[in-house]
Amino acid sequence: MNTTPYLEIKEEVYQALKENRPIVALESTIISHGMPYPQNVEVAKNVEETIRERGAVPATIAIIDGKMKVGLSKEELEFMATSKNILKASRMDLPVILAKGFNAATTVAATMIIAELAGIKVFVTGGIGGVHRNAQETFDISADLQELAKTNVAVISAGPKAILDLQLTKEYLETFGVPVIGYQTDELPCFFSRESGINVPYRVETPKEIASIMKTKWDLGLQGGIFIANPIPKEYSLDFEEIDKTIENAIEEAKRRKIKGKELTPFLLSKINELTKGESLKANIELVYNNAQLGAEIAKEFNILS
């Protein structure tokens, strides 16, 4: 195990880094704030195993007792899945949480930062944060987007979370120079659904193409990440119009209850799961597995190129 004052890398991940083997970073917000127990810990373990089966090393990232952990033990996964005192860490939170010795699950933004510190270039998540609906009034824009603009990590997800304004999220990423790439799709997927009616600027067909784009961007010294949108498998995709109506209902309830900020996304996902009678949670689980498979293949191809 490799340890610095702020960073602790699990032995499995440390050896993979030393031997230049492919590694896939994973976030912990989905464990602590995205799914109920015991599905959260089951999914976390299954995602790690999916990555191992495809020849890469998983590195789930979290903050425990003020230490950034890259790779978690079974006990640490269980702790992140069951503890009631887990904060949610983005870029702005990291110095405070580390200095005060708190526990926190990492968002997309924080996971990207920690992955880059550890030397990991590929990161798999469910969906990224983005520009929220009615952001022109609330200014609610996820820090994930700025992190994609400045941190050199490729992020594989099933699109922006469906609760967001997808068109504005895409425009924001393009404005800040983040390549938005559809994997075997011309349409930006929206998490629970393969459809959105919004085209992606670029389509690729293979993990090797994605790895080549990653290498080319960073060889040129172009700062920032790459966003790979990987649609949920057809058999698990929810109807776009139906899920959109459900989301609008959940957003209206959040407004009535004055839920905002960091509490908004977990509330909406929970409410949507309730309104869909569990169908959205099933979709969420399957899309994460699907992203893990693609992430492992991209990590292997990038490893060969680099």
CA dihedral of 219, 222, 224, 228, whole degrees rounded to 10: -70
Question: Is there a binding annotation on residue 93?
Answer: no
Please state, as a whole number, how many other Cβ atoms lie within 10 Å of the Cβ of residue 19: 8
229 labelled binding-site residue: no
Note if 235 is an active site residue.
Answer: no
- The reply, when asked if residue 142 is annotated as ligand binding, is yes
- Pick the catalytic residue: 10, 69, 121, 161? 161
Any known ligand binding at 108? yes
Contacts of 132 (CB under 8 A, 6+ apart): 138, 140, 141, 142, 163, 164, 165, 264
Contact 41, 28 (CB under 8 A): no
Q: In the annotation, is 301 catalytic?
A: no
Output phi, psi for 24, to 5 deg. Answer: -125, 120
Helix (H) or strand (E) holding 105, with range, is strand 104-106
DSSP code of residue 300: H
- Residue 143 marked in a binding site: yes
Q: Is 154 helix (H, G, I), strand (E, B) or coil?
A: strand
Catalytic residue set: 27, 161
Tell me the binding residues for Mn(2+).
140
Tell me the binding residues for substrate.
88, 108, 142-144
Tell me the binding residues.
88, 108, 140, 142-144
